[in-house]
Structure formats: structure tokens, C-alpha cells
Amino acid sequence: METIRLKLPNVDRVGLVLDISHTLVTRRINIISMEVEPNITYLELEAMPEKVRREVEEALLSIPQIIEVVTVDLMPHQVRAEQLKAVMMAVSDGIVAIDSSGLVTQYNPAAEQILHLSRDRVLGHLLTECLPEEMPLLETLRSGISYNNQETAHEQTKSHYLASGRPIFDPAGRIIGAVAVLKDISEVRELVQSVTGQMPAAFERIRHESTVMKRAIAMAKTIARGESTVLLRGETGTGKEMFARAIHEASPRATRMFVPINCAAIPDHLLESELFGYEEGAFSGAARGGKKGLFEYATGGTILLDEVAELSPPLQAKLLRVLQDGKLRRVGGTKEIVVDVRVMAATHRNLEELMAQGMFRDDLYYRLNVIPLFLPPLRERPDDIPLLAELFLQRFAARMKKPVPALGEDAMAKLIRYSWPGNIRELENIL
């Protein structure tokens, strides 16, 4: 439909909109839309012959407090829509917005590139139908709680990104929608490189001077080049998770997810569903549509099973099947799901003793212990204590916005002589 758009600067008064409407209705002019701002009224009218248009403009000018009649290209809401469209097209971050029913209302080109899903497949569809990995946005819609930089990877679409979500409120404070901002993980890495001048090397965060640590790091760098399962051994607080993360970041899987989980921190009945996921109706309280487990989320990347010795016999058997076949079944499910995950495990326990006691499966041990990596306790690397102490003091001083304190010779000597049963974690806590 062809339309004309008019801008009417005016002096505000009671009844002005009524007079404008009456003037148009009496001439049988169809009003498509009307927008009122302080001292300005905008009209979008159905197209009319030029003669009729001149008569309408003269009639509008005759209304008291109408100053002039000006033709404009767009209505204010159309201007705002074009501005929003320009912003959506220009930003490098992906933007996905939904309304109160979960329908996708905004989906920009950057989101298409990050998610590898076309606009036609997403825009105007329910979020649950087209972007199941963006379920946190539905929780934000329900609760009004934001989330920041949540790492998400989706094997089917080969997408890997950080997502932040915010609720959208109306003037009365009611939630009317939600919006997610997506950052491609490769762009995040490039940003780090542009700011720091270099990519953070995987093993540079492991501060050391001792020969024993140099050997451990050299071994870890070799391990990073392969795909074999790794078993990290060492006392509590020796940095097993830090080593595992460094191995992942130096590996061909570095652009995918690293998922650590402490097997001792989660009750057994919850740990199974966390690791392997569950189907809808698997148990009371199961989410609608089921839920992916950490093995599925980590597909293409690496999972670290910290405190693996604490797994129950049933979970040991289920883990063994994943290691043997690369397949799993969700809790309550019958379908076999293929996962491509590099598995690392860590423990401070003596697995050989646990096997002798029948508390840890022999076959699982041999599957996990393909490449063992032993991390030395702090008492065996005294050369590293001054370096670590300085690092922790600098970190704490920066956090507290205070000058970095200096350790005297006597204090440092005591730190070096101490046996450190809690290893690096204990040193950090003491400082």
C-alpha cells in the first residue's frame, strides 16, 4: 500500500489529536498510523490524488496551533527501526532477542555467522525449536536473572562462543523478552592477542624454576600433541587442573571446550546425570526435553575428571564404556550418542591400592592410565617457592590495591624449610 507521511509541528493543547482525526475522517482519509511527540504530531495516511492532498494539507493548517505541514520519508518508529537495523548489521557480536513467548524477534548477520544457522531458520521461530543450546536465555526470560560469558559449544553446527543474556523490561518492570549477545571464541582469542601482544601460552601460567618442574612441563607439552587419555597423579594442591588446562590449550582441541568436573564434590545420583545427561521424564524433576551431559557439551574438546577415584562402581562401568566405544546413553534413554572427547583424569589417591581392595576397576585403570603424568609436591621443588611467593603477593596486593610487601630473608627461609603438606594451595592460603 502506498502511503504519505506528514510531520505537523504544533503547540500542544487539549483536543488537538481529536481535531486532526476529525479533519481527516470527514474527508474520508484513511489514517494508517499516528505518533505524537511533544510539540510534533506525525501522520501516515493512505495515498491520495495530488489535488486531494493539497486540500488535506490546507485543512490541517487551518487547525488552531498547527504551525506547518511537512512531508517526511519515515515515521519516527520507522526511523528507530532503521537505526536498530543499522546497528544490528554493523556490530561484530551476534545478537539474538526473544519476546515473552520465546519467539525469536531479532537475529543479526553476526549471529548467523557464529551459530551457522540462517536467518530464515531462526527468525520468527521459537527458541526451543532452532537454538536448543541457548536455553539459558529462556531461564533469563523466566527469572529475570542475567548471565555473563557462558561458554557454549554445539557439535552439530560447529559453533563455539561466549554468550551473555539480559532480560528486557517494560516501563512497569514486567519482563517482556530477553536478549543474548554472542562472541565467537576465535574473536575472543584474537582480542586477547591484540591487547597483550601475544596469545597466552598454555604453559606460561605455570611458574617454576626447578628442574623437576621443567621435566614435568616438557612431558606435558609432548602429551598435548596427542589424543591419548591422560592420568594426572599428585598430591592435593599440586596443580593438576592447571596442568590439564594447559595441555588442552596447547592441543589441537584448544578452540573447543575444556570441561573440568570434581567427581568428589557431587553426590553420586546427581553426578551421573551431570556427566551423561538425562532424557525427559527420567526422574522426578527432570527438565522438559531432557538435558545434555558434560560429555556431550565437551564434544570436540577435553573433559577433566578430577578426583576420579571417588567414582562409584556403576559410574566407573559407564565411564569405561565411553572410553572404549566413544558412546554413551543418557539417564533414562536408550539411544546411543557418539561423543568425541579427550578424557583426562586426576587423583591424589593410590589407584593401585584401590584396585587391590576391589574399589577401583582394573580395566578402567588401564584405560585411564594410557599416559601417566606425575606432578611433584612443593617440598620437592624448593627452588620454586620464592617465585611462587612473589607471584601470590603481587596478586593479593593488586586485588587489595596495596603496595607489594617484601618477604625478609628469615621469612623466606622458613617458607623453604616447611614441608607443605597442602602444597601450592597451602602456600597461597598462608600468604
Q: What is the pTM of this model?
A: 0.58
pLDDT per residue as tens digits for the range 291-323: 888 999 888 899 999 999 999 999 999 999 999
pLDDT (0 to 100) of residue 169:
94
Do 294 and 218 lie in one domain? The reply is: yes
Distance CA 309, CA 329 (A): 22
Angle at 394 between CA 387 and CA 401, to 5 degrees: 175
pLDDT (0 to 100) of residue 149:
85
Q: Average the pLDDT over 32-47 and give the result.
A: 94
Round the average pLDDT of the chain to a whole number and report it.
Answer: 89
Q: Indicate whether 195 belongs to any domain.
A: no
Tabulate helix, strand, coil % of the chain (nearest 5). 40, 25, 35
- Picking from 78, 106, 139, the residue at the C-terminal end of a domain is 78
pLDDT (0 to 100) of residue 199:
45
pLDDT (0 to 100) of residue 290:
81
pLDDT (0 to 100) of residue 194:
54
Do 256 and 283 lie in one domain? The reply is: yes
- Domain at 232, CATH number: 3.40.50.300
Domain that holds residue 140: 91-188
Q: Indicate whether 417 belongs to any domain.
A: yes
Do 300 and 325 lie in one domain? The reply is: yes
Start-to-end C-alpha separation, the chain: 74
Distance CA 352, CA 362 (A): 9
pLDDT for 157 beyond 70: no
DSSP letters for 339-401: ---EEEEEESS-HHHHHHTTSS-HHHHHHHTTEEEEPPPGGG-GGGHHHHHHHHHHHHHHHHT
Q: Average the pLDDT over 47-72 and give the result.
A: 94
- Domain at 17, CATH number: 3.30.70.260
Distance CA 49, CA 59 (A): 15
Do 50 and 125 lie in one domain? The reply is: no
Q: Indicate whether 200 belongs to any domain.
A: no
Q: Indicate whether 86 belongs to any domain.
A: no
What's the structural domain count of the chain? 4
Q: Average the pLDDT over 157-184 and give the result.
A: 89
Do 170 and 248 lie in one domain? The reply is: no
Q: Are 224 and 254 in contact (CB under 8 A)?
A: no
Do 235 and 330 lie in one domain? The reply is: yes
Do 365 and 222 lie in one domain? The reply is: yes
Q: Average the pLDDT over 278-288 and give the result.
A: 75
pLDDT for 60 beyond 90: yes
37 C-beta neighbours (distance < 10 Å), count: 10
Return the SS3 of 103: strand
Q: Indicate whether 202 belongs to any domain.
A: no
Do 234 and 303 lie in one domain? The reply is: yes
Cβ-count burial 392-412 (b if 16+ within 10 Å, e if not): beeeeeeeeeeeeeeeeeeee
pLDDT (0 to 100) of residue 172:
92
Q: What H or E segment, with its residue span, contains residue 315?
A: helix 313-325
Distance CA 246, CA 378 (A): 19
Return the SS3 of 183: strand
Do 384 and 277 lie in one domain? The reply is: no
- Picking from 53, 78, 103, the residue at the C-terminal end of a domain is 78
Model confidence at 37, in pLDDT bands (50, 70, 90)?
very high
- Picking from 327, 348, 374, the residue at the C-terminal end of a domain is 374
- Domain at 406, CATH number: 1.10.8.60
